[in-house]
Amino acid sequence: MTLIASGGVIIASAALFIVLSVFAGLKDYSLQFSSFVDPDLKLLPTTGKSFVFSEDDKSKLNEIAGIASYSEIIEERIIIKSENKNLLATLKGVDANFLNVTNIDSMVTKGGWLSPESNDVVSGWGISNNLSFGILDFRKSLSLYVPKPGKGQISSVSSAYNSVFVNNVGLFDINEELNSEYVFSDITLAKQLLNYKTDQISALELKLNPDADEDQVREAINAAFNFQFDIKNREQLNDALFKMLNTENLAIYLIFTLVIIIALFNVIGAIIMMILDKKKSLNTLFNLGTEPKTIKSIFFWQGSLMTMVSGVIGVTLGLLIVYLQQSFELVMLTPELAYPVRLKAFNIVLVLATIFALGIIASRIASQRITKKLIQT
């Protein structure tokens, strides 16, 4: 009975650790794509959709330690039209320094990146499929539209929208959402389409030095620009994805904790069976002067140590399985992609703490079955 109970705890603790490691790997796998398009820090205006970024502002930003590079950005919702089809999308106008901040060009799977100060655009595969256009397809006219600011009655389409003809020179493939959302262009084209001034932009994207402290950089930016910007890091830019992944991780943890609780019922049963099996020995100890409290502590420590040792063995087994998956790719998602896993010290501590805490509670419950009446009967 003791071996069965111990085996249940070992399997449950190993399973919990493996599942947490899998979710950590899936989280890293899901978020690695954001590193290709999202900067280390993004500066957005606290009020309005755009701001003026003057030469003095550029000097202030260049003086902040920890910033390796930055790019001026213009983002706006637009209508992209191809022949008789149109689609809502987000235009992202970028300058020549954008590729020093992100690695978006490495995700261009067909064609190439846009040329500076041109009418070139790079679209996602989702937009390309929905509007049925490819790269350098001069037979199909591709145009961008954005409503003109102002008031009054609209007399014609030309008076209601700014428009520009563009050439699609590349297609990027990141994920389904981004592929159907973004169109990249040169920042000059975006300013022309939106009637922006020369020094007017909507965001700044920053790449930090590898050894830079993010909090210190934030403080320096706020001090230099008097809290003019809302500063977001990569996690904050993908807060919906992070919340979803964290919620799923918590749900899985709670489900497998319930499995551990069920396994610990075997521990409670094993301790009770041992108590009943050793009734004569317990009676002898009681007659020799041992107090029921002391006898309870014997079984309490026995149950606690059994769950602790089983938990350590289970986590060790889980560590071995995760290490083998990382090293030898035993389980595959696709023929080319191994199931992602990640070893985290936090998961080890979390599983052991859960096992130890629940094991102590289960042992306490089981040892409370010992009473003076039970010993003497």
Place of tokens 């003809």: 165
What SS3 state is found at 96?
Answer: coil
pLDDT at 157: 58
The list of the chain residues with pLDDT below 70 reads 150-159, 377
Which residues, other chains included, contact 193 with Cβ-Cβ below 8 Å and sequence gap of 6+?
78, 91, 144, 146, 162, 163, 164
Per-residue pLDDT, 301: 93
Distances, alpha carbon 282 to alpha carbons 79, 111, 277, 360, 375, in Å: 83, 82, 10, 22, 6
> Where are the domains positioned within the chain?
2-32+241-376, 39-234
Pick the closest to residue 131 from 161, 94, 160, 166 (CA basis): 166
* The pLDDT of residue 276: 84
Which residues 6+ apart lie within 8 Å of 119 measured at CB? 164, 165, 166, 167, 185, 189
Q: What is the CA radius of gyration of the chain?
A: 31
| pLDDT attached to residue 27 | 83
pLDDT at 154: 58
pTM above 0.85, yes or no: no
